[in-house]
């Protein structure tokens, strides 16, 4: 643990003012060719998704692959996948904040942005999946003519509350974190239009001591609220399955297993995004190899937790003595969806083991490839849980094979397009690094190196 | 905000020096001092003698309110407003109400924290705002000493000189009030 609880991995030479220039600089510069190419790709992907969604709004969800037996397919997989991606951002911004992990300051802003955008993508899927999308507001308890209320006994409704609360809280947390940095951007941009926009967004932040007292209290408060919230959200998502009595879903291990999986997949996405953002935005000095190394350690640790959960599930299925439980798990490994099961096993349990080696944890290409594996593996984990448990139900006459159609994939690709459009725009127009936070953990912010460094820290 | 007309500001880019300034100024007897920081330095609230924030209390009250209100809302909807038999469960099947109760508390607490921050730190969209120095949001710390007379000004300036602060300036207090664009600039 000693290397995890280390001081900030930033070099002594970095001064506070260097941070301002290196973060605000790229915001005003013209984006490079790489950025435009990525953006064009994201827009194209989003376009495919948009066409698919419009087609679905006209023709109904019959165009999707779901059938009577398998009622939850790619859409619900995408929903849980995106919610899971969001979790790493909250872990970095809230939980690591409470544990006083100073290294989080370099990556927390980007990770929080990832959370907000991922939750937006996630929220889209249940809304699309309900079929008659224009009645989506029926999910909210509101006084109506028939005096009917929503069913609070249903985990699906718990989800509505959990996801909306999560979306709201993460957006507020992210925005509050941005306020002092937007003020910095306001004072350091030359463009009149930018000054006005940042002036409005930074809510007149001047950095007076009394304002900082309240700000710091509020920020800590959000961390305290977001920590139990993030754990509750994926627990509640797992209740959608665990509370039913379908073999493969009906297990008490689901809440912790889903939360660990969410952090695992989220850090996979963090690495994917940071590797790209760091090289295209030239932030190598602020997002150092040490940061990536630490993220990779988290991936390794959560991969082990997830692997343990897989093995526990299999053991309990055997140990329960229940024929149906045993069949459900055997069917995963050797049934018609064995290809998906073993893809998941390889991506989630085997591939991250390469991070036991320090040189591999610090190799950009390797970590990028592994992070893609993690993303794919965690997508398939949800696909396996939902589809394999459903496709052969209690009556063999109902057994069916689920095949996603073009529209399932198109909407999925569209959600990635939307996510990357938002993330790329964020990289371009907002401070990608938490400027004020990172300055407060610099070893020598004023640049007078004659002073002794690290004189006992902050106590 | 203290009801003085002017203030003297002393600038430094060294966080340690900045904390020292606050302690010395208070020891010297300056009242109601404030500061401007580009980023929070650990211990600034003690050095400058700021009172703690009430936001924590407000959020805690909201959390409890949200929990109680959320739980009662579900009980009311399921047992009084429209009692419906769901799978033979009791109308108030309280364990099933816990997740939503929890989320209601968190949601209300988060919104209250945001609202409290906006009120407490007097935040308001200010498109034409200008800080007293551009570097105030970069790496420049400043102590704000409220003054009422020319005597006060020279006393404060003498103190800052003693502390080896090279950059000092006298400003009109309006510049620190919110929603003043501050473009009227300095006054001496």
| Distance of alpha carbon A223 from alpha carbon A229, whole angstroms | 10
Write the CB contacts of B82 (distance below 8 Å, at least 6 apart in sequence).
Answer: A147, A148, A149
Closest-approach residue (CA) in chain B for A194: B127
Structure tokens at A330: 């055997």
Handedness of CA A244, A245, A249, A251 (dihedral sign): positive
Q: How far is A174 from chain B (nearest CA, A)?
A: 11
Surface-to-core class of residue A81, CB atoms within 10 Å of its CB (0-12 exposed, 13-18 middle, 19+ buried) = buried
Does A87 have pLDDT greater than 50? yes
**B179 interaction partners in chain A (CB closer than 8 Å):** 204
| Domain assignment present for B93 | yes
Do B116 and B81 belong together in one domain? Answer: yes
DSSP classification of residue B51: P
| Domain assignment present for B153 | yes
pLDDT at B165: 77
Domain at A16-439, CATH from 1.20.1630.10, 3.30.1330.20, 1.10.940.10, 1.20.1740.10: 1.20.1630.10
pLDDT at B65: 96
Closest-approach residue (CA) in chain A for B34: A209
Do B88 and B143 belong together in one domain? Answer: no
> Which residue range(s) make up the domain with B75?
55-120
Handedness of CA A194, A198, A204, A210 (dihedral sign): negative
Domain's final residue, options B120, B142, B168? B120
Q: How far is B144 from chain A (nearest CA, A)?
A: 9
Name the pLDDT band for A31 (thresholds 50, 70, 90): confident
Do B134 and B82 belong together in one domain? Answer: no
Do B105 and B146 belong together in one domain? Answer: no
pLDDT at B176: 66
| Domain assignment present for B185 | no
Instruction: Tell me how many residue pairs between chain A and chain B have CB atoms under 8 A apart.
Output: 223
**A187 interaction partners in chain B (CB closer than 8 Å):** 130-131, 134, 136-138
Number of C-beta neighbours around residue A289 at 10 A = 15
pLDDT at B98: 94
| Distance of alpha carbon B11 from alpha carbon B34, whole angstroms | 13
Could you tell me the residue ranges of all domains in chain A? 16-439
Once rounded to an integer, what is the mean pLDDT over residues A297-325? 92
pLDDT at A175: 93
**A155 interaction partners in chain B (CB closer than 8 Å):** 99
Do B20 and B59 belong together in one domain? Answer: no
Do B19 and B71 belong together in one domain? Answer: no
Write the CB contacts of B149 (distance below 8 Å, at least 6 apart in sequence).
Answer: none
Contact between A165 and B16 using a beta-carbon 8 Å cutoff? no
Do B99 and B134 belong together in one domain? Answer: no
Contact between B121 and A187 using a beta-carbon 8 Å cutoff? no
Q: How far is B116 from chain A (nearest CA, A)?
A: 8
Contact between A16 and B38 using a beta-carbon 8 Å cutoff? yes
| Domain assignment present for B66 | yes
Surface-to-core class of residue B49, CB atoms within 10 Å of its CB (0-12 exposed, 13-18 middle, 19+ buried) = middle
Residue A359 has, within 13 A of its CA and on its CB side, a CA count of 0
pLDDT at A454: 44
pLDDT at A340: 93
Contact between B122 and A204 using a beta-carbon 8 Å cutoff? yes
Identify whether the C-beta of residue B133 lies closer than 8 Å to the C-beta of residue B11: yes
**A90 interaction partners in chain B (CB closer than 8 Å):** none
**B116 interaction partners in chain A (CB closer than 8 Å):** 214, 218
Written as one string, the DSSP assignment of B108-163 is: HHHHHHHHHHHHHTT----TT---SSGGGGTT-EEEEEEE-SHHHHHHHHHHHHHT
Do B130 and B47 belong together in one domain? Answer: yes
Contact between A153 and B96 using a beta-carbon 8 Å cutoff? yes
Helix (H) or strand (E) holding A128: helix A108-129
Q: What is the pLDDT of residues A428-459, one digit of tens each?
A: 888 888 888 888 877 777 766 544 444 444 43
pLDDT at B187: 32
Once rounded to an integer, what is the mean pLDDT over residues A149-173? 92
Written as one string, the DSSP assignment of A142-195 is: ---TT-----TT-HHHHHHHHHHHHHHHHHHHHHHHHHHHHHHHHHH---HHHH
Q: What is the pLDDT of residues A414-430, one digit of tens each?
A: 999 999 999 999 988 88
Average pLDDT over all residues of chain A: 87
Do B155 and B143 belong together in one domain? Answer: yes
Per-residue pLDDT of chain B (188 residues; tens, 9 = 90+): 455 677 888 888 888 888 888 888 888 877 788 888 888 888 888 888 888 889 999 999 999 999 999 999 999 998 898 888 888 889 889 999 999 999 999 999 999 999 999 998 888 888 777 777 778 788 888 888 888 877 777 877 787 878 777 777 777 777 665 433 333 333 33
Contact between B107 and A201 using a beta-carbon 8 Å cutoff? no
Q: Please give the distance of CA A369 from its chain centroid, rounded to a whole number.
A: 18
Structure tokens at A138: 């029926």
Do B65 and B30 belong together in one domain? Answer: no
Written as one string, the DSSP assignment of B81-107 is: I----STT--SS-HHHHHHHHHHHHHH
Contact between B102 and A232 using a beta-carbon 8 Å cutoff? yes
| Domain assignment present for B89 | yes
Closest-approach residue (CA) in chain A for B135: A187
Q: For the domain that residue B16 is a member of, what is the CATH number?
A: 3.30.70
Contact between A214 and B117 using a beta-carbon 8 Å cutoff? yes
**B87 interaction partners in chain A (CB closer than 8 Å):** 153
| Domain assignment present for B1 | no
Identify whether the C-beta of residue B66 lies closer than 8 Å to the C-beta of residue A168: no
Contact between A169 and B106 using a beta-carbon 8 Å cutoff? yes
**B174 interaction partners in chain A (CB closer than 8 Å):** none
Domain's final residue, options B105, B120, B135? B120
Q: How far is A209 from chain B (nearest CA, A)?
A: 5
Contact between B127 and A215 using a beta-carbon 8 Å cutoff? no
Q: How many distinct structural domains can be found in chain B?
A: 2
Query: Could you say which of B48, B100, B135 has the minimum Cβ distance to residue A209?
Result: B48
Write the CB contacts of A323 (distance below 8 Å, at least 6 apart in sequence).
Answer: none
Contact between A213 and B73 using a beta-carbon 8 Å cutoff? no
**B41 interaction partners in chain A (CB closer than 8 Å):** 440
| Domain assignment present for B183 | no
Q: How far is B154 from chain A (nearest CA, A)?
A: 23
pLDDT at A143: 87
pLDDT at B177: 58
The torsion defined by the Cα of B48, B51, B57 and B59, in degrees rounded to 10, comes to: -40
| Distance of alpha carbon A14 from alpha carbon A440, whole angstroms | 12
Write the CB contacts of A104 (distance below 8 Å, at least 6 apart in sequence).
Answer: A92, A93, A96, A97
Structure tokens at A237: 């998502």
Do B46 and B61 belong together in one domain? Answer: no
Structure tokens at A405: 């159609």
| Domain assignment present for B152 | yes
Closest-approach residue (CA) in chain A for B79: A149
Does A138 have pLDDT greater than 80? yes
**A437 interaction partners in chain B (CB closer than 8 Å):** 39
């Amino acid at each position: 643990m000693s290397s995890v609880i280390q001081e900030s991995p930033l070099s002594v030479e970095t001064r506070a003012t260097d941070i301002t220039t290196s973060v605000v600089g790229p915001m005003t510069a013209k984006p490079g060719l790489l950025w435009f190419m990525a953006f064009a790709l994201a827009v194209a992907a989003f376009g495919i998704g948009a066409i698919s969604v419009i087609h679905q709004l006209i023709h109904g969800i019959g165009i999707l692959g779901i059938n009577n037996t398998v009622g939850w397919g790619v859409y619900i997989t995408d929903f849980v996948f995106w919610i899971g991606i969001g979790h790493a951002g909250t872990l970095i911004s809230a939980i690591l904040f409470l544990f006083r992990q100073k290294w989080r300051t370099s990556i927390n802003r980007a990770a929080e942005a990832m959370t907000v955008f991922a939750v937006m993508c996630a929220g889209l899927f249940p809304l699309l999946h309900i079929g008659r999308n224009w009645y989506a507001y029926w999910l909210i308890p509101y006084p109506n003519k028939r005096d009917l209320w929503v069913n609070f006994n249903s985990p699906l409704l718990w989800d509505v509350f959990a996801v909306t609360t999560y979306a709201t809280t993460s957006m507020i947390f992210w925005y509050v974190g941005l306020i002092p940095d937007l003020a910095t951007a306001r004072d350091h941009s030359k463009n009149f239009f930018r000054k006005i926009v940042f002036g409005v967004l930074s809510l007149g932040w001047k950095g007076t001591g009394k304002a900082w007292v309240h700000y710091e209290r509020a920020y800590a408060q959000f961390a305290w609220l977001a920590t139990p919230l993030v754990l509750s959200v994926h627990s509640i998502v797992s209740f959608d399955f665990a509370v039913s009595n379908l073999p493969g879903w009906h297990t008490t291990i689901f809440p912790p297993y889903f939360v660990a999986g969410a952090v695992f997949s989220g850090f996979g996405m963090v690495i994917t995004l940071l590797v790209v953002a760091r090289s295209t935005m030239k932030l190598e000095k602020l997002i150092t190899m040490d940061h990536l190394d630490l993220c990779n350690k988290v991936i390794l640790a959560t991969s082990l937790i997830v692997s343990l959960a897989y093995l526990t599930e299999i053991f309990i299925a055997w140990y329960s003595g229940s024929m149906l439980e045993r069949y459900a798990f055997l069917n995963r490994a050797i049934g018609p969806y064995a290809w998906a099961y073993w893809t998941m096993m390889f991506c989630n349990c085997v591939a991250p083991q390469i991070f036991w080696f320090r040189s591999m944890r610090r190799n950009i290409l390797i970590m990028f490839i592994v992070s893609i594996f993690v993303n794919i593996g965690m997508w398939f984990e949800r696909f396996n849980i939902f589809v394999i448990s459903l496709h052969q139900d209690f009556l063999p006459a109902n057994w069916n094979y689920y095949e996603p159609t073009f529209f399932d994939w198109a909407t999925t690709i569209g959600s990635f397009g939307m996510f990357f459009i938002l993330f790329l725009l964020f990289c371009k127009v907002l401070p990608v690094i938490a400027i004020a936070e990172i300055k407060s953990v610099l070893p020598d912010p004023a640049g007078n190196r004659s002073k002794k460094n690290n004189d006992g820290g902050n106590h | 905000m203290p009801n003085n007309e002017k203030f003297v500001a002393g600038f430094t880019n060294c966080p340690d020096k900045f904390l020292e300034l606050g302690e010395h100024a208070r020891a010297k007897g300056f009242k109601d001092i404030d500061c401007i920081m580009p980023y929070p330095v650990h211990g600034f609230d003690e050095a400058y003698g700021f009172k703690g924030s009430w936001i924590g209390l407000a959020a805690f009250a909201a959390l409890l309110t949200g929990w109680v209100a959320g739980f009662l809302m579900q009980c009311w909807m399921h047992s009084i407003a429209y009692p419906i038999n769901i799978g033979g469960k009791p109308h108030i099947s309280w364990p099933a109400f816990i997740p939503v109760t929890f989320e209601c508390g968190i949601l209300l607490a988060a919104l209250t924290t945001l609202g409290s921050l906006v009120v407490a730190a007097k935040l308001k969209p200010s498109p034409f705002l200008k800080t007293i120095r551009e570097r105030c949001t970069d790496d420049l710390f400043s102590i704000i000493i409220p003054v009422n007379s020319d005597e006060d000004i020279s006393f404060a300036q003498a103190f800052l000189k003693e502390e080896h602060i090279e950059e000092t300036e006298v400003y009109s207090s309006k510049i620190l009030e919110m929603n003043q664009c501050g473009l009227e600039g300095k006054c001496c």
